[in-house]
């Protein structure tokens, strides 16, 4: 079983790239961020032709998230229940990869997938930064309850936060800057404290493994990037994780997204 996340930075522009990537990487679930389109523009037919069901939560011009899956989504929820927000940032659904309970833990085989596009925050001290911190607290409060109902849970997406200096090409230059502040990292680690685990770091990884590179100053060519796209798995799923990787190949495309897909494999 493979799950993946990818901020595609406009599905209108990069639909062919997403379809090509799915053809070469037929994951079971793909969470997309930054669709930058309204729901009525979402290309359901194109994904259906590729063998994928699609649940979307779009927004004109900005934001927008979707879950593409080989099996139909159940119990789809949009945004964070209990947190008032007019931005399309979160979509959740359950996917049944087998109907019978798992003999190993007596838990249903259905996995709850939460695909999220975390706020950028702009800069520390700004109104958008305060919104980001409030949003993170709202997400954590909801996930605490969600994990009780769905012990097999995956939270993945563009977090717009690094865990530590190892996730940043220039940690000193970025210190206390957006994506790298103590406040953001505190909230990210508070999610970990709920019982979630960073799938990427469950395995040895190459040094300077990043998932985002600025379009400017030859950022990708020089590997001046950050790891801000994450896949967090619950404790019930951690023993099932067999691999996690960042696929840099699509970043080499013509007119690529500035993010690369992250893929986790579960036994």
Using alpha carbons, select from 74, 40, 75 the residue that is nearest to residue 56: 40
Tokens at 195, concatenated? 């019982």
Cα separation, 211 vs 26, whole angstroms: 20
Distances (CA, A) of 201 to 6, 61, 131, 265: 18, 34, 28, 13
Residue 186 · residue 196 · CB < 8 Å: no
**Residue 193 backbone phi and psi in degrees, to 5:** -65, -15
Catalytic machinery residues: 117, 158
């Amino acid at each position: 079983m493979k799950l993946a996340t990818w901020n595609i930075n406009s599905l209108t522009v990069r639909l062919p790239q997403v379809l090509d990537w799915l053809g070469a990487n037929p994951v079971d679930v793909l969470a997309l961020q930054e669709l930058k389109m309204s729901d009525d523009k979402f290309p359901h037919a194109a994904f259906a032709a590729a063998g994928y069901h699609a649940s979307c939560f779009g927004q004109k011009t900005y934001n927008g998230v979707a879950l593409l899956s080989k099996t139909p989504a159940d119990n789809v929820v949009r945004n964070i229940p209990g947190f008032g927000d007019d931005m399309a940032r979160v979509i959740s659904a359950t996917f049944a990869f087998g109907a019978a309970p798992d003999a190993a833990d007596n838990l249903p085989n259905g996995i709850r997938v939460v695909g999220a596009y975390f706020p950028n925050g702009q800069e520390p001290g700004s109104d958008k930064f305060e919104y980001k911190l409030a949003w993170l607290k709202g997400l954590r409060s909801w996930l605490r309850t969600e994990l009780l109902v769905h012990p097999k849970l995956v939270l993945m997406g563009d977090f717009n936060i690094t865990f530590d200096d190892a996730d940043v090409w220039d940690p000193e230059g970025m210190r206390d800057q957006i994506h790298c502040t103590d406040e953001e990292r505190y909230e990210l680690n508070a999610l970990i404290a709920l019982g979630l685990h960073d799938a990427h770091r469950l395995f040895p990884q190459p040094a300077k493994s990043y998932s985002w590179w600025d379009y400017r100053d030859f950022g990708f060519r020089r590997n001046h990037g950050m790891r801000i796209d994450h896949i967090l798995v619950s404790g019930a799923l951690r023993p099932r994780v067999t691999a996690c990787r960042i696929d840099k190949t699509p970043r080499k495309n013509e007119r690529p997204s500035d993010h690369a897909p992250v893929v986790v494999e579960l036994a």
